[in-house]
């Protein structure tokens, strides 16, 4: 087969309709399969996404979805502990997994001559996990060090991704500590592991993605060969992740143990995915948080110089616009100078939002935002340098599991490009209200340098 250019475009100045080859099917056991060939380089990327994230882990088992993700590397029926990792690395590939709000993924990127081996490994652990108490003890220890290195022993660790949920939400599913209280991690048993696997890791609750150096037909043939014999299981009962309507501003204060500057994070309940408001909110978000040209950074850091850093986004900072399927926030995160108070900082920030609500933005401001949004979208498709096509894989998976249509990857840009300045102003007026927001302040335990 001749090399296929990954992305080609229909005519027109604003290229919004992509033509990435994408085909999908569902196996008899309910597993969805998506294949997207790109023969430009001799490498293939495989992902298996399960429709389970840390929102709906069991009560009394905070952090379990992530701990379970670690257990998926500890051994399956025909590939014991370390065999997954050894087989992928020794084939010249890399692998990892990650737990998100609404999905958990496992992925490998390999020279394409190892593609079938990767599929075999993923099928083996979808069919039957084979782990013991010793594996669980070991990974519980590893996960605790992960929490320490990323959160407990770092300045601003977990700010605001772990600080915000308990302030902003009332449903435990959305509000609990996703990395896990250590008592809950300690309480987890092997029985919990098997039960979680049986409940959430059935083929019908997953999508398999094969990208890169593979022929379309061959991709589906390989998927059938390795995954079709996995027994189907019942779909998990739908979980309640709804939030009661928020009617007043919520605030919380968290002590900053190491860092020297105070921080503030402000989050507004964001629209549901794929609604007209969602497209407009994405443009609003970009107008506010689009790097150094965004209004928040420009005003707070560059002009008024109250903050020394400012960033934000929808489903920020541990997710993005496309990978949530339940309540989430548009968050702004700032570290500000100690000579300002939290109230002064928030007041200056509010001026930016008030101006947006009152005056909106002009077409002259919105058009460049659309150009940049499009440009970011292309970069995201290509993925990081170590996992080619990671971003494309992630989008295909979320569109498959949440929206049942992976080809949205090719058409979704159009919805953003059609957003009008009026729609942005309107969504700003609706979202950016005090009763719709939550604020977390990180207050340093000690002032200035030690």
| Residues of this chain, 173-212, that bind other proteins according to CB under 8 A | 194, 197-198, 212
Shortest spacing between CB 445 and other proteins, in angstroms: 9
383 is a site residue for other proteins (CB under 8 A): yes
Q: Which residues contact 422 (CB under 8 A, 6 or more apart)?
A: 360
337 is a site residue for other proteins (CB under 8 A): yes
| Residues of this chain, 118-147, that bind other proteins according to CB under 8 A | 119-120, 123-124, 127-129, 137-146
Identify the bridge partners of residue 105 per DSSP, sorted by sequence position: 49, 98
Shortest spacing between CB 53 and other proteins, in angstroms: 20
Closest CB to other proteins among 74 and 436?
74
Which listed range, 57-65, 109-117, 269-277, 395-403, lies at the site for other proteins (CB under 8 A)?
109-117
C-alpha distances in Å from residue 193, one per residue of 59, 143, 186, 389: 14, 15, 13, 31
Closest CB to other proteins among 211 and 440?
211
Distance of CA 211 to the CA centre of its chain: 19
C-alpha distances in Å from residue 438, one per residue of 157, 206, 354: 19, 33, 17
344 is a site residue for other proteins (CB under 8 A): no
Shortest spacing between CB 85 and other proteins, in angstroms: 5
Which listed range, 87-95, 169-177, 238-246, 266-274, lies at the site for other proteins (CB under 8 A)?
87-95
Query: What is the C-alpha separation between 70 and 188, in angstroms, rounded?
Result: 13
Which listed range, 111-119, 275-283, 404-412, 433-441, lies at the site for other proteins (CB under 8 A)?
111-119
Q: List the one residue from 35, 87, 185, 306 that touches other proteins (CB under 8 A).
A: 87
With contact defined as beta carbons under 8 Å apart, do 443 and 262 qualify? yes
Shortest spacing between CB 213 and other proteins, in angstroms: 7
Tokens in use for 355?
């101006």
85 is a site residue for other proteins (CB under 8 A): yes
| Residues of this chain, 420-449, that bind other proteins according to CB under 8 A | 448-449
- Is the four-CA dihedral 381, 23, 85, 65 of positive or negative sign? positive
Per-residue DSSP letter, 421? H
Q: List the one residue from 25, 28, 133, 153 that touches other proteins (CB under 8 A).
A: 153
Query: What is the C-alpha separation between 31 and 33, in angstroms, rounded?
Result: 6
Shortest spacing between CB 166 and other proteins, in angstroms: 21
Task: Count the Cβ atoms, other than its own, within 10 Å of residue 233.
Answer: 17
With contact defined as beta carbons under 8 Å apart, do 250 and 384 qualify? no
With contact defined as beta carbons under 8 Å apart, do 80 and 86 qualify? no
Q: List the one residue from 1, 28, 60, 82 that touches other proteins (CB under 8 A).
A: 82
Q: List the one residue from 80, 111, 236, 415 that touches other proteins (CB under 8 A).
A: 111
5 is a site residue for other proteins (CB under 8 A): yes
Nearest in space to 333 (alpha carbons), one of 318, 351, 355, 323: 318
């Amino acid at each position: 087969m001749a090399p296929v250019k990954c992305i080609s475009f229909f005519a027109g100045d604003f290229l919004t309709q992509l033509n990435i080859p994408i085909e999908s099917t569902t196996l008899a056991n309910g597993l969805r399969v998506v294949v997207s060939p790109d023969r430009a380089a001799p490498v293939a990327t495989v992902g298996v996404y399960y429709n389970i994230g840390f929102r709906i882990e069991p009560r009394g088992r905070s952090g379990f979805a992530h701990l379970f993700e670690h257990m998926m590397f500890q051994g399956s029926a025909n590939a014991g502990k370390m065999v997954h990792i050894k087989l992928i690395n020794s084939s010249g590939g890399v692998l990892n997994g990650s737990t998100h709000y609404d999905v958990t993924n496992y992925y490998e990127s390999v020279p394409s001559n190892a593609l079938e081996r990767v599929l075999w490994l993923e099928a083996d652990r979808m069919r039957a996990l084979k782990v013991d108490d010793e594996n669980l003890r070991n990974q519980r220890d590893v996960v605790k060090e992960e929490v320490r290195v990323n959160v407990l022993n770092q300045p601003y660790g977990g700010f605001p991704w772990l600080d915000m949920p308990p302030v902003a939400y009332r449903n435990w599913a959305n509000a609990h500590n996703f990395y896990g209280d250590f008592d809950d991690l300690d309480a987890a048993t092997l029985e919990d592991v098997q039960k979680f696997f049986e409940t959430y890791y059935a083929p019908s609750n997953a999508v398999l993605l094969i990208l890169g150096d593979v022929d379309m037909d061959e991709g589906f043939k390989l998927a059938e060969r390795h995954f079709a014999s996995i027994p189907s299981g019942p779909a998990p009962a739908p979980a309640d992740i709804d939030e009661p309507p928020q009617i007043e501003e919520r605030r919380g204060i968290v002590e900053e143990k190491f860092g020297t500057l105070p921080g503030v994070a402000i989050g507004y309940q964001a629209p549901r995915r794929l609604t007209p408001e969602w497209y407009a909110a994405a443009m609003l978000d970009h107008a506010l948080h689009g790097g150094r040209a965004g209004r928040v950074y420009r005003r707070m850091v560059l002009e008024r110089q109250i903050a020394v850093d400012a960033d934000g986004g929808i489903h920020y900072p541990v997710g993005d616009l496309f990978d949530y399927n339940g309540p989430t926030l548009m968050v702004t995160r700032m570290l500000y100078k100690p000579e300002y108070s939290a109230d002064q900082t928030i007041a200056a920030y509010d001026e930016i939002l008030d101006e947006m609500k009152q005056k909106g933005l002009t077409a002259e401001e919105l058009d460049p935002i659309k150009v940049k949004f499009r440009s970011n979208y292309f970069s995201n498709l290509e993925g990081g340098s170590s996992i080619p096509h990671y971003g494309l894989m992630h989008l295909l998976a979320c569109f498959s599991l949440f929206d049942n249509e992976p080809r949205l990857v090719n058409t979704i840009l159009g919805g953003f490009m059609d957003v009008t300045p009026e729609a942005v102003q309107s969504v700003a007026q609706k979202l950016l209200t005090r009763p719709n927001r939550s604020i977390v302040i990180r207050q340093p335990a000690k002032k200035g340098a030690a």
